[in-house]
Amino acid sequence: MNIALIGYGKMGKMLAELAPLHEMNITSIIDPNTSSNALQLQSAIQFINAQKTPQFAEPKNSFQSIHLQNVSTSIQPQNTAKAANATITYPTLNAESLKNVDAAIDFSQGEVALEHIQICAENGVNLVMGTTGWYDKIDEAKKIVKSKNIGFLYASNFSIGVQLFFKIIERAANFMNTFDEYDIFAHEFHHRQKKDSPSGTALSLGQLLIKNIDRKTQIVTEKLDRNIAPEEIHISSTRGGYVPGTHAVYFDSEADAIEIKHTARSRKGFAIGALKAAKWLHGKKGFFTMEDWIKNIIAE
């Protein structure tokens, strides 16, 4: 399966590293900020990882020398793109950068998400959208996906653990709907470089809670200099350090408290989830979320 990566930051690099282990080829990387030298080095890493995976054939070209027993490797730099299934870098997303691509995975910027959806749709390429900050345009995105008849899947968080966490919170909220003595709130932690607050995952948790607890009807995310209203759920955030992502939901009463928390240990979980989503989306048409994916998996 041929994949285009849109955005080549930390998540893009993790996707490129893991893709060969999931029988996927990164055929193009679209990022105006990445140098060709850096991409050649990443292509070499992909190639080496692919050769360590049993389902891939042994290298046959003369410039490749892989000796797994004594862990020695040598690859000619000028041939790394060819060695790694011809990964090519492009500065812009267009028909050329999407040529021979089965699906694109986007972890770029929210402000260009709708434009990227439009371009992928016009070229008949299914898209997995990992970028947040565009949800106010979701109705426009649905129209584009429907009019061009492509497959589209988005999520605020692609971690499989987080998707299971959502299901646990949903069930807990159903229970708590009948116990008025418990108040509900949530908090999330992320690294200091994260640009949005609160996280898309935290907002998704808030929506789940409001949907399933009748006495809660409104999410509050700003700093509070007043008493919180009974119908409000406060979602607060902390930014600092190198935390990949921690989300906690609290059910609190005078007698006791219940805390349900998910802690990400690295970006690897997000990348694996996005790759699995792209594989699941292959051959499908329509507008999907990770909830559709997890429901399908649980049903199996």
Q: Please give the pLDDT value at position 40.
A: 54
In this structure, the number of other CB atoms found within 10 A of the CB of residue 48 comes to 19
Mean pLDDT of 99-120: 96
What CATH number has the domain bearing residue 51? Answer: 3.40.50.720
Other CB atoms within 10 A of residue 14 CB = 20
Instruction: Show the domain range for 64.
Output: 2-158+268-299
Residue 141 and residue 17 in one domain? yes
pLDDT of residue 85: 54
8 and 18 assigned to the same domain:
yes
* Same domain flag for 197 and 107: no
At residue 209, the 3 state secondary structure works out as helix
Q: Could you give the CA distance from residue 178 to residue 273 in angstroms, rounded to a whole number?
A: 34
Our count of domains for the chain comes to 2
Among 296, 1, 283, 285, which residue's Cα sits nearest to residue 148? 285
Residues 178, 257 within the same domain: yes
pLDDT for the residue 46: 53
pLDDT digits (tens, 9 = 90+) for 2-25: 999 999 999 999 999 999 999 999
Q: Compute the mean pLDDT over every residue in the chain, rounded to the nearest whole number.
A: 86
* AA identity, residue 243: V
pTM score over 0.85: no
> Does residue 295 share a domain with residue 195?
no
Residue 174: the pLDDT is 97
Pair (288, 144) in one structural domain: yes
Residue 93 has pLDDT above 50, yes or no: yes
210 by DSSP, 3-state: which?
helix
CA 276 to chain centre: 10
Q: For position 262, what pLDDT does the model report? A: 97
Same domain assignment for residues 28 and 137: yes
Residue 87: what pLDDT?
Answer: 82
Mean pLDDT for the stretch of residues 187-210: 93
Task: Tell me the two tokens of residue 107.
Answer: 């972890």
pLDDT of residue 112: 95
Same domain, 134 and 211: no
pLDDT value, residue 34:
66
18 and 138 together in one domain: yes
Model pLDDT, residue 50: 54
- Please report the pLDDT score of residue 67 as a whole number: 34
Write out pLDDT tens, residues 139-160.
999 999 999 999 999 998 899 9
Q: Work out the angle at residue 204's Cα, subtended by the Cα atoms of residues 164 and 131, and round it to the nearest 5 degrees.
A: 95
Question: Phi first, then psi: what are they for 159, rounded to 5°?
Answer: -60, 130
- Catalytic residue positions, numbered: 190, 194
Do the beta carbons of residue 29 and residue 88 sit within 8 Å? yes
Angle formed at CA 7 by CA 91 and CA 95, multiple of 5 degrees: 50
- If you average pLDDT over residues 195-207, what whole number do you get? 92
The answer to whether residues 110 and 198 belong to one domain is: no
Q: Which CATH number fits the domain that encloses residue 164?
A: 3.30.360.10
* Lowest-confidence pick of 70-74, 167-171, 260-264, 283-287: 70-74
Predicted pLDDT at 255: 98
Whether the Cβ atoms of residue 116 and residue 6 lie closer than 8 Å to each other: yes
Q: How far apart are the C-alpha atoms of 36 and 32, rounded to whole Å?
A: 10
Confidence category of residue 134, pLDDT binned at 50, 70, 90: very high
- Residue 196's pLDDT is what? 85
pLDDT band at 32; cut points 50, 70, 90 = confident
145 and 292 share one domain: yes
Burial class, 220, CB count within 10 angstroms (exposed 0-12 / middle 13-18 / buried 19+): middle
